[in-house]
Amino acid sequence: MPNAYISGTGYYVPPRVVTNSQLRDVYGIDTTDEWIRQRTGIVERRFADEGTGPADLAKPAAEMALRNAGLTLRDIDMIVFATLSPESAFPGSGVYLQQKMGFCDIGHFVPALDVRNQCSGFVYGLATAASLVMSGQHRHVLLVGSEVHSAALDLSTRGRQVASLFGDGAGAVVVSATDEDRGVRGWALGADGRYAETLCQRVWDMRRRPFIPVDERGVGQVVPEMMWAHMDGRAVFKHAVERMIGALMQVFAAHRLTLNDVDLFVFHQANLRINEFIREQIGAPPDKFVSNIERYGNTTAATIPILLAEAVEQGRLRRGMKVAAVAFGSGFTWGAAIVDW
């Protein structure tokens, strides 16, 4: 059986920077730079312009990953697309990306799978892609995480608790087969559906007839409680800490690792305080952590692949290093993966 390694990384963030102060000055949200920085570590985030979807952000990220892997479209056997902000209810973003990248133009109709595991989407996607490669089914799987949050944030004082946290961006990796002794060593995934609505954006309810209430003219009416994301911030904080530490310990135990074996911790960027709290709890040194929440906010499925791509670009992530990637998010879902780079 081949190993599955990450042969290329890429990322893309939209050019428009929105600072914490601009949330107040431009959008009129009753907030301050100090409040957001102190509680989350976020200084600024990127917002995509109208007309841009997650597949648009994913395209340059995926092209960069392919270039860095030295591969072309023809080499790719499958697309796995992780997002919580797809263009539409269906189809998924994977087929939009396939079309935009030109796969269809060259008659290369690779399968496209969407992963709906929110902030854990990349780790779930990595487990999926690595399994397909290690089974011998595929040689090169393109895995992306991409989000356009800015369209679905309640950018008003009512929505400030959630709106100040999220930003837009995309990250991509190519998961490739190799006979070398390296790659994705294993993972631990989990979920707890008791908290399905502790962090959610419902928009519609398929149990109702019709799934979105309509007025007498047949126009759909979505009330604000359904339209915007809902989050019990304190519950998310508490569970994120417990589950991320638990998942990390699970992969450590399975692979007989200790903290000292890991060269780089690549944690989902939900909140700097969550990650610092975990770092202190497990007693890991700060210089083994990468972070970009200051610049991008929480980009959900894109946080980990953007961090990986930036770390490679900056020379912080090099061949031979051991990486621990850990995520937690809506569902609740969580996961940790160990990768020998």
How open is the CA angle 164-212-95, to the nearest 5 degrees? 70
Helix (H), strand (E) at residue 175: strand 169-178
Q: Is 17 or 231 the residue whose CB approaches ligand ACO more closely?
A: 231
User: Among residues 3, 140, 268, 271, which one is catalytic?
Assistant: 268
**Count, residues in the chain:** 341
Inter-residue contact 104 to 143 (CB < 8 Å): no
Closest CB to ligand ACO: residue number: 233
Residues that bind ligand ACO (CB under 6 A): 31, 35-36, 39-40, 119, 160-161, 164-165, 199, 231, 233-234, 236-237, 240, 270-271, 273-274, 298, 328-329
Q: How far is the CB of 326 from ligand ACO (least distance, A)?
A: 11
With b for 16 or more beta-carbon neighbours within 10 A and e for fewer, the 169-182 pattern comes to bbbbbbbbbeeeeb
Q: How far is the CB of 87 from ligand ACO (least distance, A)?
A: 21
Q: How far is the CB of 135 from ligand ACO (least distance, A)?
A: 30
- Specify the pairing of strand 230-231 against strand 199-200: antiparallel
Q: How far is the CB of 240 from ligand ACO (least distance, A)?
A: 5
Closest CA relative to residue 122, chosen from 318, 320, 298? 298
Give me 46's structure tokens. Answer: 């990127």
Q: Is 36 or 110 the residue whose CB approaches ligand ACO more closely?
A: 36
Q: Is 22 or 161 the residue whose CB approaches ligand ACO more closely?
A: 161
Q: Is 113 or 272 the residue whose CB approaches ligand ACO more closely?
A: 272
Give me 249's structure tokens. Answer: 């310990």
**What is the C-alpha to C-alpha distance for residues 82 and 114, in angstroms, rounded to an integer?**
6
Which residue, chain included where needed, has tokens 């890429």? 10
Q: How far is the CB of 209 from ligand ACO (least distance, A)?
A: 31
Q: How far is the CB of 289 from ligand ACO (least distance, A)?
A: 16
Helix (H, G, I), strand (E, B) or coil at 44: strand
Query: Exposed/middle/buried for 87, CB within 10 Å: 0-12, 13-18, 19+?
Result: middle
Q: Is 71 or 236 the residue whose CB approaches ligand ACO more closely?
A: 236
Look up 108 and say whether it is catalytic: no
Which residue, chain included where needed, has tokens 């061949």? 319
Inter-residue contact 245 to 15 (CB < 8 Å): no
User: Among residues 117, 119, 138, 239, which one is catalytic?
Assistant: 119
Look up 200 and say whether it is catalytic: no
Give me 163's structure tokens. Answer: 């709106």
**What is the C-alpha to C-alpha distance for residues 206 and 214, in angstroms, rounded to an integer?**
14
Look up 104 and say whether it is catalytic: no
Give the count of alpha carbons within 13 A of 298, CB side only: 28
Q: Is 176 or 298 the residue whose CB approaches ligand ACO more closely?
A: 298
Give the catalytic positions in this structure.
119, 268, 298
